[in-house]
Structures are given as structure tokens and as C-alpha cells.
Chain A
Amino acid sequence: DTAVSQTPKYLVTQMGNDKSIKCEQNLGHDTMYWYKQDSKKFLKIMFSYNNKELIINETVPNRFSPKSPDKAHLNLHINSLELGDSAVYFCASSAVYEQYFGPGTRLTVT
């Protein structure tokens, strides 16, 4: 049973397009996150949600809009994609201290 799943695993698209990445966790956790791992391999937090409410938005452009329809899901929608958005995006969830990560979505913007 996959604890944190993301779809799609790979996403190739052109500049200017709008795309979504879906995330689901079956661990019953209250808190979910989106991270971006850039070309230099730094993992940076983008958003943190607790019980469907946004608690952290790390100066991410407005083109990125997370949506949490319920506690188990946190989707990421990106408008007007830019070349610099190319990265691996990880979803994660957390109960207390440690986080559980999804397998990542590699986004390539051409």
C-alpha cells in the first residue's frame, strides 16, 4: 500500500501551459506539504497545509495554487508555466515529527 502517492510521475509541457499535480496520502495525517527540488538538488518547502488550511506559503509565485479538497489530498496547480519551474516536486505528509514523502513528479517545461 502506497502511503503518499503522486500523479503523474513525469510531466513534460510547454511554456505558458497550465498543469496540475495530484497528491494523496492514506496515513491519516493532518499536515501535508509541497516541496520543490531544483537542479542544484535543494529541497525547498513551498506550502504547508494543516487540516485543509494553508499555514505556510514560502513566497511562491501566485501562479502556484495548492488545493486541499480534504485531509487526504493536496493538489498543486501551476498556471502559465515557465522554464524555471522545471524541477522535481515532492508531496509529503506528517503526523508529528517526521514526514513521509511521495515519489516525486519530474516537471520539464520546454
Chain B
Amino acid sequence: DQQVKQNSPSLSVQEGRISILNCDYTNSMFDYFLWYKKYPAEGPTFLISISSIKDKNEDGRFTVFLNKSAKHLSLHIVPSQPGDSAVYFCAARIMKTSYDKVIFGPGTSLSVIP
């Protein structure tokens, strides 16, 4: 049962244009949503996050939007750069005093074409 879904396994974007990566979730108990970037043979690297009580968070070229009613979030990268080519994982976290769980989506491979 996949609680966090990324329905696009891959995405190609021209350099300088906007990249939009999508993520859907099923569990309304998630407190926090995160995006990670992963290069081959490396561990995932944290990119940006958003609390479940917010609808937008921006950090430089990266913006995450959260639509709680649709249980949907998206990561916008603008402008896209070749160095952004990587696998992007959406993750959702439940944080309680004695329970802390993070569930990852299957990832979307982004290729930014120069």
C-alpha cells in the first residue's frame, strides 16, 4: 500500500524552464512533507520541506506547494539547471512523541537538457 505516490517516473525539461514534480499522498495524519534529491551512488540530500499547516514554502529556486484538500504537493524548480538532473523523492513524515516515521515516494528522475 503506497501512501506516498509519485506517478511520473521521469521528467525532461529544457535548461532555464520550470520543472514541476508532483506527489500525492493518502494519509491525512502526515505532519510534514519533504523533498530530497539523490545523485547516483550517493545518499539522498534534503532539499526543502513544508509543514502540513502551510501551503507554500520557498527557498531560492525551489518552491513547494501543498494542497491538503487534494492531498497533493508539488516541487517547482525555476530556472532549471543541468546540475538539477537527479532523482527527486517526495517524503511524508508523522512525528509523535514515541513514533517517528517517514515514508518515501518511488522517486522521479529529472533530466535538465542544456
Residues of A that sit less than 8 Å from B by CB? 4, 31, 33, 40-45, 48, 50, 55-56, 90, 92, 94, 97-104
Q: Does B29 contact A (CB under 8 A)?
A: no
Interface size class of B (residues with CB under 8 A): 20 to 34
> What's the Cα separation between A45 and B32 when bound, in Å?
16
Question: A-B pairs with CB below 8 Å: how many?
Answer: 54
Q: Is the CB of B101 within 8 A of A48?
A: yes
Task: Please measure, in the bound complex, the distance between the C-alpha atom of A50 and the C-alpha atom of B93, giving whole angstroms.
Answer: 15
Closest 10 CB pairs of A and B: A101-B43, A98-B46, A43-B104, A101-B44, A103-B43, A102-B43, A97-B32, A90-B43, A104-B43, A48-B100
Known: A40-B106, A41-B107, A97-B49. A90 touches B100 (CB 8 A): no
Q: Min CB distance, B53 to chain A, in Å?
A: 13
